[in-house]
Chains A and B, each alone.
Chain A
């Protein structure tokens, strides 16, 4: 599904990704780990088509995420580490996602309910005025409702309480078939029951890649 070949990305004189090669296939749940500055976020952003590589390429189902971003992103769900301060109301954000990405609005509501988030009571509230946990729950609900083949979570449980984490893991278990789940994390213990592959990065390189 995802093929990263000889990928190099530099920012000025700093090499963030140094000739990275890897493949992520169906039914793989991967924990992507490494210290700060190891290149995890740069790799994720390259998969999402945000960065123009200095060398090498990323292919998602054979497509370049920069040249064919709309087709590629139809199949990717992404939850960032920190929910961004989006000023749109919940209702407007759901409109953006349901019209722009053809995500079923009722399904977002369904997964939000499963995450114990009452969306209907907060529809007119600005997204950025929600608590950290509520924002994260909504972004998780959206990621699941999108029904993508590839789901990328950057520290998804950072703002969640233990109960919400259990809900999140339960929903992921129900939705992991035939997908690629990619977790960027510093705490392996939080996702170790979900993943079947662990990748460690350091200084822009993959230093270990193990099936578990």
Chain B
């Protein structure tokens, strides 16, 4: 336990010093700042206004950029250390593979989750200071969704990192996964599939197993389910499932998915040659 927390702590410290972390924090913090500067909270588009509108815009952009940020910054975690022989030295000490692997995951999770959640907290504080009413239900839903989303993509990234020998290949796979999942959100490929009259169940199933789609539908689910901006699959899902069940699913499913990928990644890490 002591080694697990030590490795998490050291990974966190190392990540916070890295240039990618500064860029990562600036992107999410900058988004919120940009929304305030652009007067998003004062505008009214499609019925959203104030902090609700700001959080909705933030989450819509986060859906696209958070997974790729997590994937490209994390996917090299183990494969990069293997490439540069850091792993060879660090694992020559009596630290169990379990503690090393899971310690790295915990450290990296805190690194990727904190900036996105801090950006939202800053928005809430600034909004309250400006006298806006605070949409707590949306805030807590998004906190949970971001947690689940970070876990899902972190698990996938560590899974890739555990079996890929070169960090360049790891980056390529990460990018492919991001594009693939992005293509399967209903504003893109799923709409095309419906036009081609694919089996309805197949389309819904594909949407439901895609964490990015689940995240997108859940992010908008607290608003009016009749909204046209949601897309056909989101409309269908919210029409056929109660909102509470769907919200629980949208947090639980990516979380389980991330843990499963991380677990399989660990099994590969344990069974394969380490360097």
Contacts and interface: CB of A to CB of B under 8 A. Distances in A.
B97 A69 contact: yes
A52 B92 contact: no
Given A50-B273, A69-B94, A87-B14, A95 B86 contact: no
B274 interface: yes
Interface in A72-111: 72-74, 76-78, 80, 82-88, 92, 95-97, 99-101
A50 B88 contact: yes
Given A80-B85, A84-B86, A87-B17, A71 B6 contact: no
Contacts of A78: 89, 92
A21 B88 CA distance: 24
A70 interface: yes
Interface string B236-275: 0000000000000000000000000000000000011111
Interface in B3-41: 3, 6-7, 10, 13-14, 17-18
Given A50-B273, A69-B96, A84 B89 contact: yes
Contact of B273 (A52, A83, A97): A52
A96 B17 contact: no
B17 A50 contact: no
A51 interface: yes
A86 B90 contact: yes
Interface in B33-89: 84-86, 88-89
A73 B97 CA distance: 12
A101 B91 CA distance: 11
A116 interface: no
Interface in B117-152: none
A192 interface: no
Nearest to A81: B85
A26 interface: no
A96 B90 contact: yes
Given A84-B84, A99-B3, A92 B93 contact: no
B85 A100 contact: no
Interface string A45-77: 100111110000000000000000111111011
A128 B272 CA distance: 28
Nearest to A45: B275
A101 B84 contact: no
Nearest to B272: A52
Given A80-B89, A96-B6, A96-B90, A70 B275 contact: no
A86 B3 contact: no
B95 interface: yes
B2 interface: yes
A86 B89 contact: yes
A76 B97 CA distance: 17
B13 A100 contact: no
B92 A70 contact: no
A76 B90 CA distance: 13
A31 B2 CA distance: 37
B178 to A, nearest CB: 25
B206 to A, nearest CB: 37
A76 B273 CA distance: 19
B32 to A, nearest CB: 29
A143 B256 CA distance: 41
A145 B2 CA distance: 21
Interface of B: 2-3, 6-7, 10, 13-14, 17-18, 84-86, 88-97, 271-275
Interface of A: 45, 48-52, 69-74, 76-78, 80, 82-88, 92, 95-97, 99-101, 139
10 contacts: A45-B275, A50-B88, A52-B273, A71-B94, A74-B94, A82-B85, A95-B6, A96-B6, A96-B7, A100-B94
Given A71-B94, A86-B90, 18 more contacts: A45-B88, A51-B274, A52-B273, A69-B94, A69-B97, A70-B94, A70-B96, A73-B92, A74-B94, A78-B92, A80-B89, A85-B86, A87-B14, A92-B14, A96-B10, A100-B6, A100-B93, A101-B95
